[in-house]
Chains A and B, each alone.
Chain A
Amino acid sequence: MPETTSFAAALPEIILAAGAMGLLMLGAFGFSDGEKSDRAGWTAILILFAAGVALLGQTGTERVFNDAFISDPFARFVKLLVLAGSATAILLSFDDLRRAKADRYELPVLILLATVGMLMMVSAGDLLALYLGLELQSLALYVLAAFRRDDVRSSEAGMKYFVLGALSSGMLLYGASLLYGFSGTTSFAGLAQAASAPGAATNLGLIAGLVFLLVGLAFKISAVPFHMWTPDVYEGAPTPVTAFFAAAPKLAAMALLARVLFDGFGGLFVQWQKIVIFIAIASMLLGAFAAIGQTNIKRLMAYSSIGHVGFALVGVAAGSAAGIEGLLIYLAIYLVMTLGAFACILAMRRENGPVEEIDELAGLAETNLPMAFILAMLLLSLAGVPPLAGFFAKFYVFAAAMKAELYGLAIIGMLTSVVSLFYYLRIVKVMFFDDAKPGFSATAPYVRFVMIAAGLFVLLYAVYPAPLVEAATAAAKSLSL
């Protein structure tokens, strides 16, 4: 018989799921036609906020539903970031979609449901929970990518994302079934036992299953060599949706990856560390070099996000508490930087619609100095220039890598950071030194708010980093290392 108390641990998820369903009903029957999407958006933000409050009320570590759901400081740290990322994405979506005449109330509903999936991923303690969370999130994202269904590029993005995502889900499931076949269990705790049993290191099936699982997850975090979908999807999807893609789902998938590897396969650390190092190096290299030739700023952000996934994976590869701490701090700072950068991209809009080419930013410093300043700061932070927040993010993961004696990895990371600085600086140069193009039209207030908030965070993080670092330290302890 189920204990009724166990549901309390999943309260944020329950609030979100029930809220999404309620919002669906409100959207279909409740709101008047005129401002459906706005009201739905605000309601969704309210629901996300409520879930956040419920999340903050939780303490300690709870394992419920037969270990399928884990609520611990690690999960809560990431969940809070995910909720914030989703709420910000909704905030960014208001203006853009209205102008594109794609403002429908289903967008916030789908974002809410995707968020439920992400929270499930972060809390997963079982392969089934992992898959269900992942699929819930991905399915909602496929639809979101194609949300502007009359736009060819958006439909194409949705289609590509769907086909490749389904492929990766298939691989993941295949890996999961292999793992089940060889260990007889789907729970991470049971897998950990099987992975640390004598002879596990030579157990071909277990390792093959792990590799397939990693491949599936690498697809979702768009790590090289499973990144092909990212630029096209980022470019084709509506910009607020791209902002959402780049932020919350990445965080959830990274957290899931860390959870599976440490909680489930701690015993096979030597085996998977090599794979993670390879993926990290490949992602960092590709993120740095492929971005150089880009002219579309959304594509550039796609490659940038691939690179950042590589940097974050360095923390995982370190395999230490410091590494996880670095990963968590990295994810938090990356979230803010990305959302800020996308807020700036959303502000790139002229009378006849949004523009996405980097050249269109020419001379922004003359036409709109504050925006140019904030964007420059965010880009430099993404590159990791001290004393901006991005520098500290990289600092923590590289320090962890050095401590774990992964010198090669750390050095490659630093070198690729330098390379990436080149293309970020190129945009800064375009903004400050090229001949001015006509100014952008007025920015929507929420977008401006996100822009400024992100800019302030990036600038002032160095002044008072303690709360984030402390929270990350506490969170990192809950994974079994």
Chain B
Amino acid sequence: MNKFYESSEIKRIVREFIIRNFAYGLNNSFHLRDDESLMDAGIIDSTGVIEIISFIESEFDVFIALDEVLPENIQSIESISQFIGKKLRKVAG
């Protein structure tokens, strides 16, 4: 059974993952905006997209279908968090 997450906790986990794995090279990476496009900012590339998907699946114990791997779902910390929230709500029924 999936653990329950508050939205704020999801965002915190996602932010930590992004900064730890991708944004460490930025000056003041902690100022990375939630709505900042990770691709446009040059923080993630195509391999990073796949790593994000793997992270979401393993961290939150959800399955992501191929047709869900869309820019709108993974382009920013905010959109990733919302995508995870939707997935978890769907699983919880």
Do the two chains belong together in a single complex? no
B residues whose Cβ falls under 8 Å from a Cβ of A: none
